[in-house]
Chain A
Amino acid sequence: MMSGSGGTELDEDRELVIQALSGSSAAFARLVSRHQQAVRSFLRRLGGPAADADDLAQETFVTVWRRLGQVRADQGVRPWLFGIAYRKWLTLRRSDARRGARDAGTLEAQAVVHSGSDDRLDASAALAVLAPEERACVALCLAAEFSHAEAAQALGLPLGTVKSHVTRGRARLLELLGASDERR
Chain B
Amino acid sequence: MSDADALLSGLWAQDQSPAQDPAFVIAVMQKVELQRFRLDMAWLVIGCFAAGVVFWAVAPLIEALARLAGPLTGPSTIGPVVAALAMAALLWSWISDRPQPAV
Contact = CB atoms under 8 A, between A and B. Distances in A.
Interface string B3-27: 1100110011111111111001101
A129 to B, nearest CB: 13
Interface residues of A, number: 39
Given A66-B35, A174-B4, A25 B102 contact: yes
B15 A41 contact: yes
Given A29-B103, A65-B32, A44 B15 contact: yes
Main secondary structure of the interface of B (DSSP, over half): helix
Interface residues of B, number: 31
B18 A142 contact: no
Given A26-B103, A41-B17, A58-B28, A143 B12 contact: yes
B46 to A, nearest CB: 18
Nearest to A58: B28
Contacts, number: 107
A37 B21 contact: yes
Contact of B33 (A25, A26, A121, A124): A25
Nearest to A126: B11
Contacts of A28: 29, 32, 102
B1 to A, nearest CB: 11
Contacts of B97: 23
B4 A62 contact: no
Given A25-B100, A25-B101, 12 more contacts: A24-B99, A29-B102, A32-B29, A33-B20, A40-B17, A58-B24, A61-B31, A122-B14, A123-B15, A126-B11, A142-B8, A177-B11
23 contacts: A1-B13, A23-B100, A25-B102, A26-B100, A26-B101, A26-B103, A28-B32, A28-B102, A33-B20, A36-B24, A36-B25, A41-B17, A45-B12, A54-B17, A58-B27, A61-B31, A62-B31, A122-B11, A143-B12, A173-B11, A179-B7, A181-B4, A182-B3
